[in-house]
Each structure stands twice: as C-alpha cells, then as structure tokens.
Structure 1
Amino acid sequence: MSQTAERGATFKEVFAVREFRVLFGSFVLLVGGDAIKMLALSVLVYTRTGSPGLSAAAYMAGWLPYIVAAVFLMSLADRLPPRAVMITGEIVRAVVCLLLAFTGMSIWAMLALVLVTGLFSPIFGAVRNAMLPDVLPGDAFVLARSLLGVTSAGAQIGGMALGGAFLATVGPQGALTVTAVLSVVAAFVLRFGLPYRKARGTVRQGTVRTSLRVNRLLMSDGRVRGLLLAEWLPVIFIAGAEAMVVPYLGGQGQAGLVLGAAAVGMAVGEFAVGRFASPRLRERLSLPLAVLMGVPWLGFAFGPGPVVSAVLAACSTMGLAYQLGLQRRFLEAVPEDARGQAFGLQSAGMMSGQAVGALLIGVVGEVAGPGPGIAIAGAALLLVVLALVKPLRPSGV
C-alpha cells in the first residue's frame, strides 16, 4: 500500500493533476449553468402562463428523466469515448438553452424538449464520475468525490444567486443565453484540456439491451446491491425531512435559514471527513455518520424554533459524509468495463430517491403535521441504517 493510500490524499495532490483540474473546472461551469438554466426556465414559464404548477414542473423537468436513463440508456457511458460524450453534453445544453430562449415555442414543447434532452444528462455525469479513478487512483479518487460534492452544493447556491441577478437585469432569455455561453466555454475546456481516451466497454448488443443486462448483473451482486442501497435509501428520508421545512416554519425567510444551514453542514462534513480522516477511518465512520443523519430530525417532534432547527439540520447533513466511506469499496466491487453505468445507476438512484422522499414524507406531513412528519423521517432513516449495517460497516471492523 502506498504512503498516500495510508495517510490519505491532499487537495494539493489532487489539484496537481491537470486532467482533474479540467474536469473540476468544467464541472463548476456545468452545475452553476444548470442552476441558472432551471431557474430561468421556471421564471419564463411562469411569466407566460401565470401557473405555479407549470413553473414548478419546468424547474423539476431536468431531473425527472434520471430513472429512465439509468434503466434503459446508461450503457452508453461505457460504450463511447468519454471526452466526446462530455463535449456533446455541453453542446446539447447550449443548443437547448438557445432554443428555449429565442424560438418562441409553446410551453409544452419547451417542457418536452427539456425532458427528452434530459434523458442523456445522467450519461454525461456518469462518464465524468467514471473517469475520476483513471485520473486520480487510490484515495485521491475519494477526496476528489468529496470535493465535487462540496463544489456541487456551492455552485448550485452561487448559480441561483447569479441566476437571480441575471433575471433581474437581462430577463430569462438573457439568463438562458448565459448558460449557453458557459456550456460552450466548458466544451472548449474539455476539448483542449483532456486527452483522448478510448471507450471503456465493448459493443456487443444494443444500448437498451446492454443497459438492462448490466443493471441485472450489478443488482444481482450482493456487495454492489448493498452499497447501492446504502447510498440510495438514507437520502430518501433526508430529502423528505428537508421538504417539510417550509411548511413547518411557515415562512420562506426562516426556511431559507434552515435549508442554508443544511447545505453548510453537508459541505463541512464532506470537507472534514474527506480531507482529514484517513482512508481506513473514513470507512469506519460510515455507520456512525449514517446514524448521525437521523438523530437530529427527531428533535422536531418538540417544535424547535428557527435557530435550533437550523442547528439540527446542519448536524444531520454533516452525516452525509458517510457516503465517502463507501466510494472505494463501490469502485472495487463493480466491473471495470461497466464502471460508467454503475456510477450512473448510483447517481440516478439518489436523484430519484430525493423525489420519492419529498413525496412520501409530504404525505406523512399532511396527516401528522410538518413537525411530526420530520421526526418520522428521522426515525425511518435510523431504521433504514439499522437494516443496512452490513454494507455500511466495512469487513473486519
């Protein structure tokens, strides 16, 4: 075992790798641009229709196709050269933004365009994640995943802030144009910053048939299945609890304080565990950190005010760093020629789980009330963690 693997990688070592700097820079442009795009599209739809429901549908439309792509199309992540796939993703995003901004298409055509092109967004992300172990082997890969997680939260918040500024000055069409420009810049960064790499997998069957076959292969492997469930299921109840914050507090400003604290807690946890815990300690922490996610939400049964609620939310989301302890084992468990599809399936399950959690705990909140609904989400999360002790606890611990 190398010295780096024993002591853990550092940010200096990660950023010393040119390919990672390119992937990181394009990722920041991607996440920030997507936040601006979805906000601008939502405002554009609301301006033209006056419908809050259609506006919300427009905001979520880009996320809905994840599960469809994961089931039927994700094998493309391993069957095509990664640089070409990522560049194609940026070009598609730029074209879609310009079409939305300037063609005057109907609202339903706009939503259909976002949904159809969104089918391929999970593939672009899966290719990026699958490249990381090639660029940064060993513990540097886990630290890079931590860094991308922290950056994703920050870039989304920054993208929302920039989107609001652009909307106020140049309107939704101008904001969509900004996203298109960011996508073109990212495409150039990827084209001239990354070397050519061959496709990881080989073409034997059609895309859909291969995707279904590999998904069956992954889910039939007990080790892979356990690690996927350990990533997917706790997120359902975290998302459900957060979805109840606004009705619980009854005010956007107070809810913003709590949700902002949750984002900070996630960033702090990811940074601290990713940077300062050794690889072995990081894996041992997976189980206690997963438990930490559920306990604070139980406090909402007692009706805490906004400040205490913010502290509880931040403490819970710090526990999301439990996922870092699963990354190395997941990488080792999946076949190398299906790595892209495996990472795509992992991400798609988490995205879909957030939607399921918001719906599920929303129903509970309607019956029991927002505060008890949040507490029930915390209790359910703890029960799920107890059921997942085996994949959450590395062998020999």
Structure 2
Amino acid sequence: MTTARTAPAPERPATFRDVFAVAEFRALFAGFGIFLIGETVKMLALSVLVYERTGSGLIAALAYVTGFLPYAVGGVFLLALADRWPPRALMVGYDLLRLALVVVLAAGVLPPAGMLGLVFVVGLFGPVSSAARTALLPEILHGDAYVLGRSLFTVLSGGTQVVGFAVGGLLLGLVGPYGALWLTAVTCAISALLIRLGLRRRPRRDRGSAGPVRETWRGNRELLADRRVRGLLLAQWLPGSMLVGAEAVAVPYAAELGPGASAGVLLMAGAFGMLLGDLVVGRFVAPAARERLGPWLALLLGVPMLVFLLRPGLAVAAVLFGVAAAGFAYQLGLARRFLDAVPPTRRGQAFGLVSTGLMATQGLAAAGAGALSELTGPAVAMAAAGVASLACTLLLWRVLKAGKEPPGR
C-alpha cells in the first residue's frame, strides 16, 4: 500500500470560529447530534417496550445492546461501501432506512423477536454511514480545523447521549415507548433533511468492482498489513480501551462503597473529564505541541487507576475517573497523522476500521475486567486495567510519539 508522507503540523491552532464558519460542517454537526439523540431514545424505548411485552429482563437487555452488536459485524463485512457510494447519498439513505425501521417498530406489528431481528439487520449499515461521515470531515475542514472538528464531534457524542437519556426518560413518562418511537422517526427525517440540503454532492472515492464483503476483507487486510497504519490503529484502540474496562466495573465498586455511593457519579465524572480534555487540548494546545504530548496524555489514562488499590471513597474515585478520562485527548495527536497515512480511496474504510476495532477492544476489555473483578474484587480489577493501559502505552510509545511511527510496509 502506498501512503502519503506525514506533513508537518500547522503552527496555529484552529478556533471554533474557523470551524463553525464552514456551512457544511454546521450541517454535518447538527445532523450528527440529532442522529445520536434519536438513536439513544430509540434503543431506550425499544428496551422498555420489549420488557413490557415479554417481562424478561434478559431480553430487555438484549434489546438495548442489539443496536450496538451489528456495528462490529457490519464493520467486518461491509465497510468498503463507505468509499464505493457517494457520501451524501449514503448518509441520507441510512437515515431514511432508520426512519422506515422506527415506523415499523412504532406501529407495533412485529413480535419482540421480529423487532430485534429488524433492528439488527438495519444496524449492519450503521458503521458504513458512520465511516462515510468521519471520512467526509477532512474534505470539509482542512489543516488544524479538521482536528478541532474531530474533538467537537467527540464532545457532541458524549453530550448528546446524556441528553438522549434525559429526553428518552422524559418521553417515556409522557407518551410511552410507542410515542417515543414516533418522535424518534421525526429525528430521522430531520437528520436526513439536514444532510441532503446542507452538504454538496461528492463522487464516490473508490470504483472497485468486487463484492462489498470481498472488498471489505481485502481493504482491511491491506490497511492492517501497512506497518504505519497498523501502528496508528493499535495506538487508537488499545490504551483507551483498557480504561473502558475499569469503567465496566464501576457499578460493583460503588456497591462495595456502601449506601449512597452511585456508579453514575463515577461514569459522569469520566464523561466530563473526556469532554473537558478534548476541548482544552483540541482548542488551546498548538498542533505540534498536541502531537508531542500524545504519549504523555496516554499515560494519564492508566496512572490514576493505580490509586484504586487503596480503595478510595466516592469523591476521590470520581476525581480519579475524571483525570484519567481526560487522557483520551491523546487521540487528537494521532488524528492528522492517521489521515496522512491512509490512501484517499480507502479513507472511509480506514475510519470505519478505527471504530470497529474500538468497539471490539473495549468490549474485550470490559469482559476481562468484569471476569477479573469476580476473582479479585472491582478495586483490583480497576488497578489492573490501569496497568494494562500503561503497558499498552509503553509498548506503543514510538508510535504515539510524533514523527516516530514506523514507515509503511
């Protein structure tokens, strides 16, 4: 695979004015926020609806995660479509497909098994649409504006999911799960309209003739075979995923602290720390300095978790979670370098592979931390997650350090 030489980082950090002055970015940003709120409300309403109709807590839990499981499957088999279809048409088409899905769910014509199966099938195209959106961003924003735009998408993702849970809970109380689903259909239509009217038409990036599954496998193999791309993928996947393992045992840790301790406080502190870190590093740190700070910010993911060996109280634990999650900003130092490393014709698939790998490694880290907590207790599992994050950071130090990633194959 031929990859471009890494360009030097720009000297001046982009400003929010630079980013929001671009009309296409405003449309993409607003459409993504509405999309996320709609998806959160949909999965919450579906979980409640399935529980009401089956009385099974297990099936209700499966209903909630059904929206996420297809992401990994679609990422493995269909990502090539992100480059083989025009991005605007792909995103609008997926919004309309979601609209049709939600209308069928809200009509109540399917049994629970049919509802879950339909959600799974439609969700297979989720990573394709997401990859197209992410790959479109550097075509809309250039230079450091692209990095700041990515950080704003991260902030938007965390913030709108919190809003989605709040709005979803309110809607369920006011209009019930079916009413919430009908209102979700409106968000699908608004998102499609914003993308259709706010983005200009662009051609597809790749004109390959092989089937999407074969092309996806071939593209994934080519990306992973390139040492430079592979190193940057691992750097984005591993250090942060280990911290997600620690978050996965927040509930049992809070339970051990006794009455009045809430896992929600820990998770909210983590979300706030991540958002604050992305905002500060993305906006106020110069691009070259941001890339130099990358490995040191990655260390921040693991070090605070070591303190959990002392079993701190809720307030201290929340601060530790917030500080650790701020380290996620290390990924901003990789954004420009990863964009330069992947060929333009594989850009959509490359960004989709980042998301798919993140979901896989985070799931494995959460499962591993949960299993370890059964044997050692949640405090030790959290500290072990911190050690694992530090180990990954040290092993990938050369890649995380600006300009030190290995050359292509």
- Asked if 1:294 corresponds to 2:302, the answer is yes
Q: Which runs of 5+ in 2 are unaligned?
A: 1-6
**Equivalent residue of 2:106, what SS?**
helix
User: Could you say which residue in structure 2 is the equivalent of 1:166?
Assistant: 171
- Could you tell me how far 1:252 is from its partner in structure 2? 8.5
Once residues 384 and 49 of structure 1 are traced to their aligned partners in structure 2, the CA distance between those partners, rounded to angstroms, is: 43
Match of 1:77 in 2: 82
Paired residue secondary structure (2:68): coil
SS for the counterpart of 2:207 is: coil
When residues 167 and 284 of structure 1 are mapped into structure 2, their CA distance, relative to the original with a 3 A threshold, is same
Verify the 8 A CA contact 1:265 1:314 in the aligned structure 2. yes
Q: 1:90-144: CA deviations, max 9, x gaps?
A: 1111111121121331111111111111110000010000001110011111100
Structure 1 residue ranges (4+ consecutive) displaced by more than 3 angstroms after TM superposition? none
CA deviation digits over 1:62-109, x for unaligned, max 9?
Answer: 111222222211000000011100001111111111211213311111
Structure 1 portions without partners, runs of 5+: none
CA contact (8 A) 2:9 2:287 kept: no
Q: Secondary structure at the match of 1:65?
A: helix
TM-score after normalising by structure 2: 0.94
**CA-atom RMSD in angstroms:** 1.7
Matches within 5 A, 1:160-309: 160-250=165-255, 254-309=262-317
1:67 corresponds, among 72, 83, 95, to 72
- Equivalence map 1:381-392=2 (5 Å): 381-392=389-400
Secondary structure at the aligned position of 1:5 is classed as: coil
Q: Distance in 1 between matches of 2:15 and 2:8?
A: 12
CA distance in 2, matches of 1:289, 1:370: 25
* Paired residues, number: 397
Give the alignment's TM-score, normalised by structure 1.
0.97
Match of 2:149 among 107, 128, 144: 144
Contact residue 7 and residue 278 of structure 1 kept, 8 A: yes
Relative to structure 1, is the Cα distance of residues 3 and 216 closer, same or farther in structure 2, using a 3 angstrom cutoff?
Answer: closer
Cα distance 1:285–1:314, how it changes in 2: closer, same or farther (>3 A)? same
Answering whether residue 61 of structure 2 is matched by residue 56 of structure 1, we say: yes
String of CA shifts for 1:271-319, please: whole Å, max 9, x gaps: 0000001110111111001000001111111111111110000000000
CA distance, structure 2, for counterparts of residue 45 and residue 296 of structure 1: 39
Q: Is the 8 A contact 1:235 1:353 kept in 2?
A: no
- Equivalent pair of 2:261/2:314 in contact (CA under 8 Å): no
Cα deviation digits, residues 327-382 of structure 1 (max 9, x gap): 00000000100100000000111122222121111000111111111111111111
- CA distance in 1 between counterparts of 2:40 and 2:213 reads 30
Distance 1:281 1:268 in 2: 18
Amino acid at match of 2:400: L
Letter in 2 for 1:43: V
Which of 312, 315, 319 does residue 311 from structure 1 map onto? 319
| Partner of residue 21 from structure 1, selected from 15, 21, 26 | 26
Matched, 1:46 2:46: no
Say if 2:242 and 2:385, in contact at 8 Å, map to a contact too: yes
Q: CA deviation at 1:253?
A: 5.9
Q: How far 1:204 sits from its partner (Å)?
A: 2.5
Matching residue's letter, 2:290: R
What is residue 380 of structure 1 aligned with on the other side? 388
Q: CA deviation at 1:160?
A: 0.4
Conserved? CA contact 1:142–1:274, under 8 Å: yes
CA drift at 1:5: 2.6
- Cα deviation for residue 396 of structure 1 reads 6.2
CA–CA distance in structure 1, aligned partners of residues 239 and 67 of structure 2: 23
Deviation at residue 4 of structure 1 after TM alignment: 9.8
**AA in 1 matched with 2:120:** L
**Percent same amino acid among aligned pairs?**
49
